[in-house]
Structure formats: C-alpha cells, structure tokens
Chains A and B, each alone.
Chain A
Amino acid sequence: MKSSKNTLETAASDSTWNSFWFGHWESETLLATASLAMVRIGLAVVAFWYFASHWSDVAFWFAGDGIVSAQALGVFLTDADLGDAVGWRLSPLYWVDSPMLLRAFLLVGMLLAVAMPLVRSTRAVTTMLWLSVVWLANRSIMIGGLEEVTLAWGLGYLVIAPVRTPISDPPSGTAAWTTTLARRLIQVHLSIVFLVTGLAMLSSLAWWDGTGVMAVVSPVESRYFDFTETLRSPRVHEWLTHGIVLGAIALPPLLWIQSTRTVGFCFAVIWCIGLAILSSQGMHFLALAVLSLSFLPEKFAARLFSRTDP
C-alpha cells in the first residue's frame, strides 16, 4: 500500500511539474500564445533600437582602425591575460573589420527585427535575430551593458515557441507544450532578475537611507533628463526609493499569485518604465517591461485579442 501511495504521489508531483512547464490545456496555451505574441512585438522593437543605436559608431569601435578592433582587443586581452575569461564570447564579427560590412550586419539585424512579428510561418527569423543580437553583444567587450543580456535571453526563449497565427487557434501537440515552456522560462527568468535586483539594492546603504533614487539621477551628464531638482525634497526621494526597492522584491510574488497578478503586472510595467526614465537605461528596462507581458492577465489578453483576431 505504501508503495502504491508513493507511486500516486510521484505521479501527482510529475503531473504538477508537467502541467506547469508543459501544460497543453486549451485555455493555458491560448493565454501563452497571446502573451508571447505581445512579447515578440515588443522585443522586436527593442532589438531594432539596439541595432539602430550602433549605426553611427559601429565603425568607430569595431573597424580595422577602431578603438576595440579585433587586433587591438586581441593584444589587450593577451597582455591582460584575460583570454580565458572572454574566450567563449564567440562571434563572427571578430573577423569583420570593414565599416561597410559592419553596417550591413546592423541593417540585416534591423530587417530581421522588423520581420520577426510579421513572418508567422517559421522560427528561422526569430532564431537569426537572436543569433545576431548574441553575436553583436559578444563582440561588444568593454562597451556592452545589461540590455544585451536581457535581449539575448528574451529572444532565446522566444525561439523555443512556435509562431502562431491566428492567436485564437489553439496550438496542439509539440506546438502546445513548447509555447507553455517558452512562456514559463521567460516568467521564471524575469522573476530571478527582479529578485536579484532587489537583493543587490539591499547591499547598498543608499537604498536603505532613502537616497538611492538620488544616486540614480545624480550623474546628470549621462542621463536623459535632469531630475535632481524635482526629487530634491526628502519626502519625494525617500518615498520613491522605498517604492523602488519594495517593487523589486514584491514583484515576483505579486506576479505569480493569481489573485494579485493584475496589480503585479501593472506595477511591473510602471516600475520598469519609471526606472528607464530615471536611470536612462532605457533599453534594458523597456526590455524588462516587454518581458513582463509574459504575465499578461487573462482578462487583458481576452480583451486585446478578441478584437484583433477574426
């Protein structure tokens, strides 16, 4: 009896695990398909922005006489004995030093970004866009930031999911479980990012004593806007600081608990856009806001897609 009870428990646990990661009920896959469609459009916009932002200075950095040309970088990494640390940052762009070819690569990246939400018959476009972002990110040693990381994992998970159209047509078979898996991976990865952001904040006194947001806006020479005067009042910047920290830590549970998902989703979008404006890390936080769409509440999805789908 004990053995059969254990078997039942294992089966139930398997079932919970499988339904979470690979669930293929119609309502679940429809919601996953709808939210991934939104994420796909949003990440396409961010990826286009990413490639376009390199247009004016790609030759300055990567061309034969560029600041971090392949040759100059190679010598530096050898001298610094950093070859092992960055040796796995693979990219064909290390072999490209012509400004024209570098711009051609950016152009292809932008075209792929435009094509990704439009081409609905193959994963090839998403895969190529993902690889293009990863290659440019891997080439950007010393000048790359967080936006590359966020774009790379977001697009990487989208590759797993099939492209569905129309959205009201529920996927079946392999398409069903890969759609759920892609959405779950985005959701869990995003939760890790929010949580670690909150924990990282707590390791700095600025986020405890209420001046964290002032520290974010104070290097005004590298910000979109100068908010130092607007936030100078302690009442304003202290409340904002506490809200930002609370947001980072509270977002994962708010997003995962079904009853608070709508509040969590709205809060996540506001939190990301707010930090994008304050910190000028627009691309990174916009990408996070887009990835938050993987938690799109059911009622929002129903409202959006009942109007657009035939």
Chain B
Amino acid sequence: MRVVSTVVMIHLAVIAIAYLAVVRSSGVQGRLVDGFAPYLATFHLAPEGNAADAVTADGVAFYLARGDGAERVYRLQVASGAKPDELQWRQAAWVIDGGSERARRYQRFLAAVADLGANDQNALAGRLMLPALERDPKADWVRIIRLPNLMTNVVQDAEPAPYTAAVLRDGAGIRLARVAQPRLTSAATP
C-alpha cells in the first residue's frame, strides 16, 4: 500500500500544480509542469496550453471557466477578384456557427490562427491556412475577423482583422502574403 500511496500522492500533486498553473504559472510551476509533461501529455491529464478555451485577456488565461469580455467568435472570410471591399467578403463554406462540438473545433482552430496573426507570426498563420485555401480555388483573399458582442467595447470592435492575406496562386502552388492592416491609434480611443 505504501507504493500505491506514494504514487497517488505524486499523481495528485502533479495534477494540482498543473491545474493551478492555468491562470498564470510561476517559474517553479512551469518547470514542474514541463518536467512532468511526458506523464501529463501522454495521458492527456492537463488542459492544453494556449488552447482557445483558455481565452486570454491581458495575458490571463481561463481554462476552466469561460466568461470574460475578451471571448470572441471568429469568422473565416474569403473574397475573389481585385482588392475587395467590405461587401465582397463571404463566409468560408466549411465553417459553421453554433454551440455544437464541431463548431467549437472550428472556433479553436480559427482562434489559433488569429492569435498567430495578431502576434505577427504571419508565416505560421499562413502555414495553418494553406490546406483550407487549397479547397477553395476561387478565394483570392482570406481574413479572419472577430465578431463584436454585448461585452466588447468600441475600441475592441474597431480593431482590425487579426489576419488578412492575399492568396497567390502559381499553377498548382499556393502562397499567402499577409496584408498589413492599419492599427488603431490614440485618435480612435474614445
């Protein structure tokens, strides 16, 4: 029983540390969680780092409790032709809305791409978007937008799309070129 007791104690200590590290982990917590990563990840015992369910607001993550003004719904939009105006963007056919598990997976994926785009990780965001755009030969432009909601303010609503890119097709090949969006200046702040 002593061996089992020791295993139980270590297991629960690791679980508690991994869960307590979700809001913002200290260096010690981070090193412990990293050290036990083979155990935690192999058996999928701890929430995924930077998951879309962990909505971030000022760098604070909420893995276990949704409910922050920063939680947004993402939409993937595509457009054809020369530089499109607002009316020409259409929702990508493969993304669905709603609270279903399937819709939630789309949201998590789009949140990951948007997060990369917002952090100027353009090549990585493009890498994730490429397989989706290969399915839509008519798409010349792609962007991910965040929808406003009851809890967002005018500044958040006025933020540019976190990821916008031109689709460059060359025969069978396809590349994405990030289109820089004007960032908010202090003049936009009410």
Contact = CB atoms under 8 A, between A and B. Distances in A.
Interface in A217-236: 218-225, 228
Given A65-B134, A79-B127, A143-B108, A204 B16 contact: no
Contacts of B187: none
B57 interface: yes
Contacts of B24: 203
Interface string B1-34: 1001100100110011001101110000000000
B175 interface: no
Interface residues of B, number: 68
Contact of A142 (B40, B66, B97, B112): B112
A145 B53 contact: yes
B89 interface: no
Contacts of B100: 53
Interface stretch (B77-85, B144-152, B165-173): B144-152
B109 A143 contact: yes
A87 B41 CA distance: 8
A239 interface: no
A305 B64 CA distance: 33
Given A215-B71, A218-B151, A152 B101 contact: no
A145 B51 contact: yes
A22 B94 CA distance: 51
A142 B109 contact: yes
Interface string B112-147: 100000000101100110111010000000000001
Contact of B16 (A89, A192, A213): A192
Q: Is the interface of A mostly helix, strand, loop or mixed?
A: helix
Interface in A188-240: 188-189, 192-193, 196-201, 203-204, 206-207, 211-216, 218-225, 228
A6 to B, nearest CB: 18
B66 A138 contact: no
B68 A89 contact: no
A148 B67 contact: no
Interface stretch (A30-38, A54-62, A164-172, A254-262): A54-62
Nearest to B16: A192
